[in-house]
Chain A
Amino acid sequence: MDMGRVIAVSGKGGAGKTLLAALLVRKLVKTGHKSILAIDADPDSNLPDALGVFVESTIGDIREEFSVEQSRLPPGYSKDAWLESKVFEIMVETPSFDVLVMGRPEGPGCYCAVNHILRKIIDSMTGGYDYAIIDAEAGLEHLSRRTTQNVDDMIVVTNGSLSGFNTAERIKNLANELRIKFKHLYLVVNRANSSHEKLILKRVGSIGLEFAGGIPEDANVAEYNLLGKSLLELPDDSPAVKAMDEIMEKLSMQGGK
């Protein structure tokens, strides 16, 4: 089976990473892709809302359920297989993409074993899709410990401010420390102001990230967020959506299969 491409989107809270993750899924869906997995790996974000999907249970819920169930499972019953089935069960399947939510962080107690098994399951699962888009928290906690180490590309989303660039640099350093090997480390600037492009490019160059483009301020996005409307329904001519063409090209994600 061909391994798909796994892309993590990270950035500080409010920087717009959920927006970018949702727009990536939107673009893939619109270009006819059908094998897409969206993973919400940030307990503070709301990727399912942005995709117009309701998710009932999370990986965190499975972890807690397992801690109670593990002593009740019969000795000859495989825990790995039980967990794998649970992961499939909580996944929301829409006609063109699936959604998995990592959920709340673990409570006290030992999760070494269950996390080890879940990591194997999720790693193998993300590989089963043409595209897996992960909305990852800035601390990369899920990348270092839980979700997956098999991330091909990382996109850091930032606003155009100095602190935004500092965050981007921190994420890059953290990824190095965690020895996560990305094929590409991209930067996308949200609410980009085209008159600052030169300055932005200079900053991007100095921190050693590949610039994948900017998303302009978009009144539709703000309105959809407020109304709780799915970003998949944004009109094609909305500024943020239009900006995705260039970004997709930079990410070499053009064209449907």
Chain B
Amino acid sequence: MKIPVDVSVVHEGERIRKEDMYVELGGPKVSSKGELVRVRKPGEIRDGNVEVEGPDFDKLKEGGRYPFAIFVEVAGKNVEEDLEAVIERRIHDYCNYVEGFMHLNQRYDIWCRLSKKSYERGFNTLKYLGQALITLFKAELPIIEKIQVTFITDEKKVEAFVNDARKIYEARDARARALSEEEVDTFYGCVLCQSFAPTHFCVITPDRISLCGSINWFDGRAAARVDPKGPNFAIPKGELIDEVNGEYSGVNKVVKERSQGETERFYLHSIFNFPHTSCGCFESIAFYIPEVDGVGVVHRDYIGETVLGVPFSTLATQTGGGKQVEGFLGMAIEYMRSPKFLQADGGWNRMVWLPKSVKERVIDDIPAELRDKIATEEDATDIAALKGFLKERGHPVVERWREVEAVEVPELEVMPVGAPGGIKIILQNAKIHAEKVIIKKIK
């Protein structure tokens, strides 16, 4: 059976206009559509077989829109279930190699068109499409030893198929959400914002989405695979230096290179010492509130002043620009859902203030016992009120106030002013009251 049209990568990006289309399969105007790849045992597959359940191209009315499902089953010694999603993504690529066939989107949202021209040239059965897919899968992914393809156009059957497929997508997503830094050996970097902050770049891990909230670890991986030298690139994570802070040798190496020497190391899950830098594009800012020894969060859409008495824009100036500024961290709101969310600083136990709309968005991810202990703008708009609120509700940070009061301040070793390298004084968890601070050159 010879496919009557050309099948090649040159047809990728070919646009089939409404006027030129023979039929549309799936798409925004059709409710039932979907595609799925499943890994099977070799004995369960009739290698090379293509089935069509429901009317084929020659039985469909020209110009119509129809329900559509693509079901690909594969087997091979090294084909594991984990690869299903990756193989499934190739359906899109390979369908688009077929002259006069267009494929958009994924999962339960696929949208295909067949051109009149290709239909007239004899592409009148889905069997040709199946044949093209089988040939391409085997040629491009040699780990696939056996493959069969089923197309469904019968509405009821597509509906049932998609219902079952949804359960598989959900299981996959649940696995993906549970993925942690420990389970992978590669993180991803993103320099899309470097035109705004040349020394900033984002480190994206399964536990840490980009600051803008747009690129998660899976997006980074997908982009780096397509274009490894592009704005998203792989970062071998290297040795784990500090589990609590989230410091990795591989990350630090890339930090030095990509920040043009500006920054030496990143703590991925702390707002102190060596926090992740920020471009200017972050969805929200976590900021340290020394008076209560807690952390507040404000997002870009928040109008008015934060509990610090300044609005988002003022804090953004402090935070952005690719500089490492202790006590300020640009982050995605989604990061608040991470199990490692500021884990070095106490995570949610340290969170004392955030806008009501953000609190509502992440409420399910706030430990139940803390939900009514974290203030919003309705509870406190200044530090005094915040202090009162935290004390009254018994917020965990209140315990820290006593600890701090009892702590002995270690002697500071002060290097002479003007010595090479300068000095860096870090006062963490410190409460100091001074009438005057005088720094004099030692004679």
Query: Which residues of A are at the interface with B, using a C-beta cutoff of 8 A?
Result: 1, 34-35, 66, 70-71, 74-82, 84-85, 88-89, 93-96, 98, 108-110, 112-114, 116, 124-125, 127-129
Is B210 interfacial (CB-CB < 8 Å)? yes
B210 near A113 with CB under 8 A, answer yes
Q: Which of B348-363 contact A (CB under 8 A)?
A: none
Complex-state Cα separation, A77 to B172, whole angstroms:
10
B15 near A128 with CB under 8 A, answer yes
11 contacts between A and B (CB under 8 A): A1-B10, A74-B173, A75-B173, A75-B177, A76-B218, A77-B107, A108-B300, A109-B212, A109-B281, A112-B212, A113-B215
B109 near A76 with CB under 8 A, answer no
Complex-state Cα separation, A82 to B177, whole angstroms:
19
Closest beta carbon of chain A to B106's beta carbon, Å: 5
Q: Which of B197-241 contact A (CB under 8 A)?
A: 210-216, 218-219, 222-223, 231
Closest beta carbon of chain B to A83's beta carbon, Å: 10
Which of chain A's residues has its CB closest to B19's CB? A95
Q: Within 8 Å CB of B213, what residues of A?
A: 70-71, 110
Binary A-proximity of B92-116 (CB < 8 A = 1, otherwise 0): 1000000000001111010100000
Is B73 interfacial (CB-CB < 8 Å)? no
B176 near A75 with CB under 8 A, answer yes
Is B169 interfacial (CB-CB < 8 Å)? yes
B13 near A124 with CB under 8 A, answer yes
A81 near B192 with CB under 8 A, answer no
Given A1-B13, A71-B334, are A112 and B104 also a contact pair (CB < 8 Å)? no
Which of chain A's residues has its CB closest to B214's CB? A113
A116 near B106 with CB under 8 A, answer no
Given A34-B19, A75-B216, A76-B173, are A109 and B192 also a contact pair (CB < 8 Å)? no
Complex-state Cα separation, A86 to B14, whole angstroms:
17
Q: Within 8 Å CB of A74, what residues of B?
A: 169, 173, 176
Q: Within 8 Å CB of A77, what residues of B?
A: 106-107, 173
A78-B222, A85-B28, A110-B282 known; 14 new pairs, CB 8 Å cut-off, are A35-B15, A74-B173, A74-B176, A75-B176, A76-B173, A77-B173, A80-B223, A85-B111, A88-B111, A93-B19, A109-B212, A110-B213, A110-B280, A112-B193
Closest beta carbon of chain B to A127's beta carbon, Å: 6
Complex-state Cα separation, A98 to B18, whole angstroms:
9
Q: Within 8 Å CB of B334, what residues of A?
A: 71
Closest beta carbon of chain A to B208's beta carbon, Å: 13
Complex-state Cα separation, A79 to B282, whole angstroms:
19
Q: Which of B76-130 contact A (CB under 8 A)?
A: 85, 89, 92, 104-107, 109, 111
Is B11 interfacial (CB-CB < 8 Å)? yes
B104 near A85 with CB under 8 A, answer yes
The number of chain B residues with a CB under 8 A from chain A is: 51
B279 near A85 with CB under 8 A, answer no
Kindly list the 8 A-B residue pairs having the minimum CB-CB distance in the complex, ordered from nearest: A110-B281, A113-B214, A128-B15, A110-B212, A75-B176, A85-B105, A93-B18, A112-B192
Closest beta carbon of chain A to B82's beta carbon, Å: 11
Is B17 interfacial (CB-CB < 8 Å)? yes
Closest beta carbon of chain A to B338's beta carbon, Å: 12
B169 near A110 with CB under 8 A, answer no
Complex-state Cα separation, A124 to B107, whole angstroms:
22
Closest beta carbon of chain B to A129's beta carbon, Å: 7
A85 near B214 with CB under 8 A, answer no
Complex-state Cα separation, A93 to B28, whole angstroms:
15
Q: Within 8 Å CB of A127, what residues of B?
A: 13
B333 near A128 with CB under 8 A, answer no
Complex-state Cα separation, A77 to B20, whole angstroms:
30
A35 near B17 with CB under 8 A, answer yes
Q: Within 8 Å CB of A128, what residues of B?
A: 13-15
B11 near A1 with CB under 8 A, answer yes
Among the listed B92, B173, B279, B282, which residue makes an inter-chain contact with A81, where contact means beta carbons less than 8 Å apart?
Answer: B92
Closest beta carbon of chain B to A226's beta carbon, Å: 31
Q: Within 8 Å CB of A88, what residues of B?
A: 104, 111
B104 near A81 with CB under 8 A, answer yes
Complex-state Cα separation, A218 to B332, whole angstroms:
55
Q: Within 8 Å CB of B106, what residues of A?
A: 77-78, 81-82
| Most chain A beta-carbon neighbours within 10 Å: one of B192, B195, B211, B222 | B192
Closest beta carbon of chain A to B83's beta carbon, Å: 12
Among the listed A1, A75, A96, A125, which residue makes an inter-chain contact with B12, where contact means beta carbons less than 8 Å apart?
Answer: A1
Q: Within 8 Å CB of B262, what residues of A?
A: none
Complex-state Cα separation, A109 to B301, whole angstroms:
9
Binary A-proximity of B167-190 (CB < 8 A = 1, otherwise 0): 001001100110000000000001
B192 near A113 with CB under 8 A, answer yes
Q: Within 8 Å CB of A110, what residues of B?
A: 193, 211-214, 279-283
A76 near B176 with CB under 8 A, answer yes
Q: Within 8 Å CB of B300, what residues of A?
A: 108-109
